[in-house]
Amino acid sequence: MSGPKANGKGAPLDWESDDAENFRRPRRPVEVRRRAGWKQGLLAGAKVFLAFAAVAAVGSAGYLAYRFAVRGPFFRLSGPEAVEVVNGEHVSAAAVAERFAEDTGRSIFTVPLDDRRRSVEEIAWVEAASVQRVLPGRLRVYLRERTPVGFLRQGTSLELVDAHGVILPLPEGSSYAFPVLAGLPEALEPEERRGRVALYLEFLTDLGRNDKDYSRQISEVDLSDPDDVRASLLEPDGAVWLHFGRDRYQEKLEAYLEHRAVWQKNGEAVRAVDLRYRGQIILNPETPARTGTR
């Protein structure tokens, strides 16, 4: 075995010297980390197990709650008496409950609310509806009924019509003070009927300007010609039909009221008056008035 070797300075290395001791031993202790992988794996596995257990518990609870709500007897709709109707003045509770007939015995959570709402809105007097579940086993239906704006003559029968042109059956025992509308046949397209009713409402609104309630003197309005609103007034000697065109309704009616005493005094029988032309009043026109300045 060879002896001690020289150091960098050429001097022999003494094994017992401090330099030799420094050469053989590190100045700082080396940190040794023990592997803890088995602990981390165990902890991760436990977390996964607990997560699966929680999911399973929630799923099981949800399933049990679903069975209780859908299949249990607690939330079942017992029958028509379990359907409550709110704001039904002209629509009977029986007519509304009939729309839920197939839901009797079912859980209220399985009733398709949107489908039933649309079905209820098909009832003539219903303009809009909403349906909500009421625990434990009831349904509540809120109604917004249509508002009639006039009587509608359909052949020999008399019905009602709302602002959208929807024809409504006349409720028994009802009392309204509307003019009777003509010129809205059943064959008329809904959009055209709606437009003619809008013209009628415009006519009434104009007659009521400046706090004047001339509409009370109108007994019937004929909308057959949208360019010529015709209305009848009941005079002592019978009805008089007035041709208004489609503007300045109040002004034209006041012109008629101002001059009617003249021909009434003369005993002249007047059954129709054409007021469509500015500065002219044509009595008993036998043919449509000529085009002129309005």
Mean pLDDT by runs of 10 across the 294 residues of the chain is 51 51 55 55 54 48 46 82 95 96 93 97 97 95 97 88 94 89 91 96 96 93 96 91 96 94 84 93 71 40
* Helix ranges restricted to H, 150-189: none
What's at 225, amino acid-wise?
D
What is the reported pLDDT for 18? 54
Integer Cα distance of 85 and 91 in angstroms: 9
What is the reported pLDDT for 45? 55
> Using the 8-state DSSP alphabet, how is residue 17 labeled?
S
Vertex 65 angle, CA 102 and 62, to 5°: 125
What is the reported pLDDT for 114? 97
What is the reported pLDDT for 61? 47
Domains and CATH numbers, the chain: 74-145 (3.10.20.310), 148-283 (3.40.50.11690)
What is the reported pLDDT for 292? 39
What's at 43, amino acid-wise?
L
Q: Tell me the whole-structure pTM to 2 decimals.
A: 0.70
* Helix ranges restricted to H, 71-185: 93-97, 113-120
